[in-house]
Structure 1
Amino acid sequence: MDRVTVRRALRSAATAAALAFVLTGCIPAAGDTRPVTSAPPTDAAAAFGDAEHEPDAEAAPQSIAGLAPGTVLATGEFHDRGTSGAIELRANGTPSGFEVVLTGISPAPTAGMTLELNSEPSTATREVLKEGFSYYRYDPLATTADQAFRVPTPGTGGFVTNDPSYLRTAVLWAPAAGAERGFDEVVATAPLTWNLPDLNPGLRVVDHGAAEGATGEAVLDDGGTPLRYRIAAGDTSIGVTARFGVTVDDLRWLNPDRAGSKLLLADRWLNLSREDRGLRG
């Protein structure tokens, strides 16, 4: 069965085989040597409530589920490290993922090769790609130049976000010697070009200044637009959303690598920039 898993620290390959998704990071597959990082101690984190600031229905993000099945969402070309071919992502009419089509992969994938969709740019190093937030197909690719599959497999869960355009790069990985699958060496990368409308057109982030429930540090660009915010102990969801004029759903959209109570934790940086969605910095 095809599996897509989100990278997460401190999970075994056996656990990965039983889960389609874990919502804070990809689980290393068997033979994977990528490093793992634990979350900060929970006793040092102040989690927010999720529903204290309700979204405006007119400004609520739309979804790829509203696009006609077969609509091309993104395309990319593999053209480095001696490998060529194309990738295409197509809507499947559901909010739980999309169809992936690989064509003309040359040389054809070898046994154990895995496809990953990574938030880091295609120019990132192997080490940075290993740490980037991503989705990957748990089962190895077929050893053919042309193939298609659904991401994720029906019945195994959905994406953390309704808008996957933060996934910047398709990566073909080769496993370590003797491993059935895994992420040892980059075989090829393909920068993804997304063909999506603005799925959150009502989003405007403005820093109204520190106030009760939002006393953390904000980093702004030269024009005064907020780029990121460091959560302070004692902050509340009402305070933070009011400070920046956004909803909790907006914050989830801006931070697709966070899930549940991990969205807003004390002393963590919260992304507020459209351009930096999915990046870990």
Structure 2
Amino acid sequence: MALVLVTLSGCTADQGLTSPPSPSIASPAPQPITELYELAAGTVLGTGTFDASTKVPVSGTVEISTDSGRLTLSVLNLDLGPTESTVTLELNALTDDSSAARFRTARSYVADAPVLTTDRQTFDIAAGNGYGDQLITNDPSWMRTAVLWEQVDGITFGRVMATAELVWAVPDMHPDLAVVDSGEVATARGTVIYDSAGNPSGYVVAPQDALETIADRFGITVADLLWLNPMRGWAEARADETINLSRYERGR
């Protein structure tokens, strides 16, 4: 059989037929974005349009963008109507249909100056919160609503003037995240909180627990744990602290 194949091959060459082209080498698949600093400065990550109350005619939009390892928050074409009160801007972890009382319990970022009626006003989210040059997290989409607060004497944080639901275009940087409790181990002996489906949704830290061991207990990394708790920071685990383990509850 081997001789027959050689003979046939020789006949093909004698007939002047060309050899099949070599298979092309496929281009490597693009690597997923794992940090926002990998995105070009000026990349728009989220937007929102203010939905005014029936009493105060407010209009304008917000835009969250990258800026060389920072996040910036811009207010565009803002019209505050006839109000003469000081107005401040916040990004909040709750959805835009929440009450003012609930918004006061889940504050994410508050701009460091009053907002102005202007074409564009930009705030530096990182610097405004004292986080230096680094982003708070590699995924800011836990901030679900932009809230305009009208400052009113005697009312904590003021009165909600208008809200804007934030729509994010952030890639999923933890697509394979799955939280599974493997059971109590040394330095991860806390109490697990379960959701209605029986999945771990929270963890109450026990004395001498460590973030690394807690993450190991649930089959995730410390980076995953910090992503699930975006405002927590890198501090050591504290006894009786509740750590979030749920995507849905992220940042709330």
Corresponding residue for 1:113?
A: 87
Corresponding residue for 2:16?
A: none
Corresponding residue for 2:22?
A: none
Counterpart CA distance in 2 for 1:270 and 1:242 is 14
Contact 2:187 2:209 survives alignment (8 Å): yes
1:112-151 to structure 2, matched below 5 A, reads 112-144=86-118, 146-151=119-124
Greater radius of gyration (CA): 2
Corresponding residue for 2:142?
A: 166
Counterpart CA distance in 1 for 2:193 and 2:208 is 19
Identity percentage over the alignment? 37
Q: What is the identity, as a one-letter code, of the residue corresponding to 1:189? A: T
Counterpart CA distance in 2 for 1:241 and 1:92 is 29
Is 2:48 aligned against 1:76? yes
Q: SS of the counterpart of 2:163?
A: strand
CA spacing shift, 1:266–1:227, aligned 2, 3 Å: same
Q: SS of the counterpart of 1:260?
A: coil
Counterpart CA distance in 2 for 1:88 and 1:195 is 14
- What is the CA distance between 1:96 and its match in structure 2? 1.8
Counterpart CA distance in 2 for 1:98 and 1:63 is 16
1:3-82 to structure 2, matched below 5 A, reads 62-81=34-53, 82=56
Out of 229, 237, 240, the position equivalent to 1:264 is 237
Q: SS of the counterpart of 2:147?
A: strand
Contact 2:201 2:244 survives alignment (8 Å): yes
TM score, norm. by length of structure 1: 0.68
**Which 10-residue stretch deviates more, 150-159 or 238-247?**
150-159
Contact 2:112 2:123 survives alignment (8 Å): no
Contact 2:77 2:117 survives alignment (8 Å): no
- What is the CA distance between 1:124 and its match in structure 2? 1.7
**Structure 1 unaligned residues grouped into runs of 5+:** 1-58
- What is the CA distance between 1:86 and its match in structure 2? 3.5
Q: Deviations over 1:92-138 (max 9, x none)?
A: 34222124132253527745211111112212221221121311112
Is 2:192 aligned against 1:210? no
Q: Deviations over 1:207-239 (max 9, x none)?
A: 111222222121233544321111112323342
Counterpart CA distance in 2 for 1:223 and 1:95 is 38
Corresponding residue for 1:243?
A: 217
Corresponding residue for 1:175?
A: 151
**Which 10-residue stretch deviates more, 79-88 or 166-175?**
79-88
Q: What is the identity, as a one-letter code, of the residue corresponding to 1:196? A: V
Counterpart CA distance in 2 for 1:230 and 1:122 is 29
- What is the CA distance between 1:266 and its match in structure 2? 1.1
Contact 1:122 1:168 survives alignment (8 Å): yes
Q: Which portions of structure 1, spanning 4 or more consecutive aligned residues, are displaced by more than 3 angstroms?
A: 108-111, 152-156, 221-224
- What is the CA distance between 1:186 and its match in structure 2? 0.9
Q: What is the identity, as a one-letter code, of the residue corresponding to 2:145? A: T
Counterpart CA distance in 2 for 1:83 and 1:77 is 13
Is 2:237 aligned against 1:276? no
Counterpart CA distance in 2 for 1:154 and 1:234 is 33
Contact 2:75 2:121 survives alignment (8 Å): yes
Higher relative contact order (CA 8 A, sep 6+): 1
Q: SS of the counterpart of 2:207?
A: coil
CA spacing shift, 1:153–1:109, aligned 2, 3 Å: farther
Contact 1:98 1:151 survives alignment (8 Å): yes
Corresponding residue for 1:103?
A: 77
Counterpart CA distance in 1 for 2:40 and 2:82 is 31
TM score, norm. by length of structure 2: 0.75
Counterpart CA distance in 2 for 1:60 and 1:231 is 32
Contact 1:213 1:238 survives alignment (8 Å): no
How many equivalent residue pairs?
Answer: 217
**Which 10-residue stretch deviates more, 107-116 or 229-238?**
107-116
